Every structure is written in C-alpha cells, then in structure tokens.
A and B are shown apart, each in its own frame.
Chain A
Amino acid sequence: MNDEIRAILKEHGRLAVDVAGLADDADLYQAGMTSHASVNVMLALEGTFDVEFPDRMLRRGVFESIAAIRAAIDELKQG
C-alpha cells in the first residue's frame, strides 16, 4: 500500500523533493506539500483505495506523512 501512496504523492503532492527519498514518517508539509496539493492527494487516495475520508479526518495531521496516511486508510478499510 505504501508504494501506491508514494505514487499518488509523486503525481499529486507537488513535493519539493523526490518522494523516493522520503522516510515513511517524514513530514510531507515540510517536504513542500501545500494545502491545495493535499486536497488533490486526498481525492486520488479516495479514488485509488475506494474509501471516503469522513470530515473528522480532513485535518492536516491525518495527511502529514506516508505512515499517517496509511494508518488513516487502514482505519477506514477495517471500519
């Protein structure tokens, strides 16, 4: 799943660095992801993993790292 998340970040995250060089817990905002870009990342994640992030999850913290995104998707898949 992390590879798919990385592919989405590469295409939509508009990061200032190569996503391949980022650790799973690296801060994506410090890597250059803007609020606008994060919306596109959310849309791509919802499309790819067939989930819908409820409004309570639409916060900065939920999308701040690959690990955090993974945890959020796992939670939705289990729910």
Chain B
Amino acid sequence: MHNGGVISLTNLAVTEGDVTLLPATSIAVPRGAALIVRGANGAGKSTLLRVLAGLTKPSSGQASIGGAAIAAKNATFRARVAAMIGLPPFAPDLTMIDHLALVAVTWWADRKVAMSKARDILGDLGLDALGQRFAHELSSGQLQLFALAIALVRPADVVLLDEPEQRLDPDRLARVIAVLKERQRTGTTLVIATHSPALMEAFAGTELVLEAA
C-alpha cells in the first residue's frame, strides 16, 4: 500500500464480469493536496470516486482514507469524506437556503455557525439571490451549484467532486475554483475528476490519468 498520504490506493480495480470499470490504480495523495483525475469517457473516473466515497466496492486492491478502510456506513468515515458524484436527491419541499441550513445543522453543533455556513456557501457560489427557490425552479447550472453547495456546506477532510464544471459558465466555474482553493488552503484534500482545462490549471500538481481498458 502507498503510505504517507491521506488517500492511499494500491492496485485498486473494479471489474464487472469481463468489463473493466476501473483499471488497476495506485496513488498516494498527501493531506491538503488536490488530485486531478483525468481520462476519456468511460476511463473509470466516476468509478474511482464512487469507490473512494464507499458507494462501489472494489474488485481487487486496497484503498484507505486517513489510514482507515473505506466504509460508507462508518460515522468517522462519513464525517471525513464529502462527495458530489452526480446530483444528490434534493428534498422537493425545501428551498435552497432551507436545504443547506438543514444539512448544516446536522454537521455543526452550534446553530449560529450552521446558519452562517449555509448563507456563506450560497454567497460564495453566487446563489444568494436564489436562496428561496425550490430545486424544481432552478436551471441545470444552478442545480449543479446547489449540489456543490450541499457537498461544501459541511466540514470534511476530503472532498470528492465528479466533473464539478458540468453545465457551468466560465464565471461560475471561477467562483467554484475560488471556493475549492479556499477549502484546500484550510487543509482539505480535494479529488476532482474533470475535463475542464480551467480546473486542471487551477489545481495543477498531483494528477492521475486513467486509460480506458
């Protein structure tokens, strides 16, 4: 196993019958780093993120986050890892600000802190004017930002993001990059699967290129 990183993968692979969803992959990502995962469609980027989030079981190899095995039902693991892999199931009867506040109050013991975190992330992502809209009233780009806000309103050591640039215009993407940079500056490790040159440039450094099998 690759040691010394908050995320450590050793020959991690996922197969389904004869189909390889993720080729054998090894990498160690240090705390506070940003790992850019690149690769063509079907190369296994989303599968890798799903494995790291505990949503898909690997067929072989080992993976750990913070030295512990990945276990989606484990409270410590859940507190450590935040993820946005596709759009999450939004509560249809909550406005954006309500939804973020509800998520935040389950993470932050201090209610004032939770409320301010919810308002802050809306502002940081340029959604503050839309706080009282329901999910069904948002455009696809706004929904993408909302999903990012839900993943980022909570504390986490590791944030997994699957193509966060989807459906975003350059200005919004710049806001997302700024928010992620700030999270990285405070010690959060980022894993970003992306096709966006802007994201690749902003987080250039550690990179994993997956080749389709």
Are A and B co-members of a single complex? no
Residues in A lying within 8 Å of B, measured CB to CB: none
